A and B are shown apart, each in its own frame.
Chain A
Amino acid sequence: MKVAVVGCGQIADAHIQEVRRIPGAVVEAVCDSNPHMAEQAAERFEVPQRYTDVDRMLTDVRPEVVHITTPPESHLALGRLAISHGAHAYIEKPFTATVAEAEELVAAATRAGVLVCAGHSNAFDPAYLRLRALCDEGVLGDVVHVDAAMGYSLTGPFGSAMMSDPAHWVHRLPGGLTHNNIPHPVSLLLPFLPGERPRVVARGQRLRPERYGDVRDRFMDELRVMLFSGSSSASLVFSCRTRPIQLYAAVSGTRAQAIASIDGRTVQIVRGASMPGPFAKVQWTHQAYRQSRGEFYGSVKRLLRADLHFFGGMHELIRRLYLAIEGKGEMPVPMAEALRTTRVIEDIVSQCRLAEEEA
């Protein structure tokens, strides 16, 4: 598989590393509008060719798949360009800045007969895939409700970069920081919800003190969302205050509950107790103890097998996408699902902005 990466910022490192772990896949070229960014990626990862002009790269290299890791406002234009050269595309989240752009991109891919995959990589994290399997196998019964929560640090590597620069692209997204991050929890929730477009109730807040007197004081840093669809519901919490920083999804079913921690890469099932009175509490903790012990040994085994890569979900998504391109598997994130996620995100952002304006 001949691969090219467009956009050589921080997340491009993860893409290049994960592509390199896939047998038969080679990153042939990197491209960035800034020559220094393209150069650093090419030198550090020994990528043979580097460009500052995407069109020229696509013409010269003719990649089978292009990873677009640029700011979201450029996804539509770059995606269309890749498609026009007959290339498939992996597009980092958020898929696009608006639903209209997403629809245009998917329509262009459909017309050209190529695949465009949204980078919902956490939905392919091993822990989350185990959670999905538990549901598919009926262990949890019918899904009643799903929770997803994401913590975020404004002083982390990305947070501090964004906070130090009022011209950072995150501030240009309609929903700012939350817009850039909620594709992760939304992509964990939606597979459990039926229907094309769940009903959204969303409220965003800015709870940090004002400091800059510019756009950096305006974006939401706390978000609460409820989603309703058929007999199922979901909730989403995005918070810049909760600690530890982690992303998790919890499913409450008619038989049992389960929680998958993406950061811990663990799954815990809660089945309840069958013993009477105070013995139930002992049985409950014994269950938790046994599961924790199992998860611990599992983690140690994966550590020894060198199978705890930070971007394990991205690796699995890329692997499945490449198989789909070769006609050996299903599209991991169907384009309709990318559209559905973008619509829900737009609904969330619109509601929050509306509430803000009313306030």
Chain B
Amino acid sequence: MGTGLTLVTGATGFLGRRVITRLRELNQPFRAVMRPGARLTSELNEQLTGRDSRGELAECSLNDQAGLDRVLDGVDVVLHLAASKSGSAPAQIANTVVTSENLFQSAVRAGTPRVVLVSSFGVIGAGQVPTGGLLDESVPMEPHPEWRDPYSFAKHKQESLAWRYSRDHGLRLVVLRPGSIFGPGQNILTSRIGVNLFGLFLHLGRGATLPLTYVQNCADAIVQAGTAPDAEGEVFCIVDDDLPTSRQLLRRYRREIARIPFVPVPSVALQQLAVLNAWYSRRTGNHLPPVFTPYKVSNMWRGLRFSNEKAKRVLKWTPRVPMADALRITFEAERHVGQAG
């Protein structure tokens, strides 16, 4: 122990690549876990093989328990980012929860390095917070994750499992719950802003503040969580400062990227639509999936306030890329993609 070696799962992903970049900037030794056969990006390859790199690559499936035991050897910190982001609920449970349990078991066997779990805002029971209220680490977890989308459901199960390992097996756990992570390469118009329905964008977020975090800022927080004293056993919400509203972002998107046709959906209409959608889906045996449900509406598209005070105080983290710059970089990248397309 005491090598300072950091293991990163999901290292080839949108967020994982930035975590590797940050570790390299800090000159920390790291081991990047990559699924066998996954494509090694030129960026990650450079991080691993570049001059003075203290990184190494480990090809290992998170379903391979013996392989996990090997890659955890000598590791002090695990930054667990790997998770399924799409697909059916069973697929996401298999690729997020079952695999996480394998990792936690290996971590316990390895003498419990600190495990930083990158969870999600989706696990928080936002429906319990009144409109305009503050959503922070004090809000309990979602009481009915099965009524949410498959991603939030799987992440909720994953985080609950991590806490169980912390309680029952002494896993040294730190949980980070990032809001919507954005940056170049990721569509800025997330479901928190609205959904595309047959070519028409339904603007659901309206004037609600968006819990955004820029990918590099989020990566910084994750790396900080690996070493910050007093972080173990704690949860941290990760959002940047100066958060924009859904309306501001959609306006900017239409001004700078594409003038997509959209319809603002008032909250009363959204509630009615959700009641109708849920009723129809239930009555017809899922003839149309319940895209909107009253439960989702109360969790996803209401005006709430967000805090990153605890992350700043305990992790000593600050979003080093200001929101204005982060949005500018992201929109510029999106414009390039649009022009290339």
* A and B are partners in one complex rather than unrelated chains: yes
Interface size on B, residues (CB 8 A): 28
Across the interface, do B90 and A8 meet the contact criterion of CB distance under 8 Å? yes
Across the interface, do A166 and B88 meet the contact criterion of CB distance under 8 Å? no
Cβ 8 A contact of A40, one of B63, B90, B285, B287? B90
Question: Considering only CB atoms, which chain A residue lies closest to B63 in the complex?
Answer: A167
Question: Considering only CB atoms, which chain B residue lies closest to A157 in the complex?
Answer: B87
Across the interface, do A12 and B287 meet the contact criterion of CB distance under 8 Å? no
Closest chain-A Cβ to B35's Cβ sits at a distance in Å of: 6
B residues in contact with A157, CB < 8 Å:
87-88, 91
Chain A proximity mask over B125-157: 1 for CB below 8 Å, otherwise 0: 000000000000000000000100000010001
Across the interface, do A40 and B61 meet the contact criterion of CB distance under 8 Å? no
Cβ 8 A contact of A37, one of B87, B98, B286? B98
Q: How far is the CA of A59 from the CA of B35 in the complex (A)?
A: 40
Across the interface, do B91 and A161 meet the contact criterion of CB distance under 8 Å? yes
A residues in contact with B261, CB < 8 Å:
none
Question: Considering only CB atoms, which chain A residue lies closest to B287 in the complex?
Answer: A306
A residues in contact with B35, CB < 8 Å:
164-165
Task: Tell me, yes or no, whether B223 is within 8 Å of chain A by CB.
Answer: no
Across the interface, do B90 and A309 meet the contact criterion of CB distance under 8 Å? no
Across the interface, do A165 and B98 meet the contact criterion of CB distance under 8 Å? no
Task: Tell me, yes or no, whether A21 is within 8 Å of chain B by CB.
Answer: yes
Question: Which of A10, A12, A308 is packed against the most chain B CB atoms within 10 Å?
Answer: A10
Task: Tell me, yes or no, whether A43 is within 8 Å of chain B by CB.
Answer: yes
Across the interface, do B98 and A309 meet the contact criterion of CB distance under 8 Å? no
Known: A8-B90, A36-B97, A37-B94. A165 touches B61 (CB 8 A): yes
A residues in contact with B97, CB < 8 Å:
36, 40
Known: A9-B94, A36-B101. A309 touches B37 (CB 8 A): no
Task: Tell me, yes or no, whether A148 is within 8 Å of chain B by CB.
Answer: no
Closest chain-A Cβ to B69's Cβ sits at a distance in Å of: 16
B residues in contact with A40, CB < 8 Å:
89-90, 93, 97, 146, 153, 157
Task: Tell me, yes or no, whether B284 is within 8 Å of chain A by CB.
Answer: yes
Chain B proximity mask over A300-324: 1 for CB below 8 Å, otherwise 0: 0000001111000000000000000
17 A–B contacts from the bound complex (CB under 8 Å): A9-B94, A18-B285, A34-B94, A36-B93, A36-B97, A37-B93, A40-B93, A43-B146, A44-B146, A44-B153, A164-B35, A164-B37, A165-B63, A167-B61, A167-B64, A212-B36, A216-B37
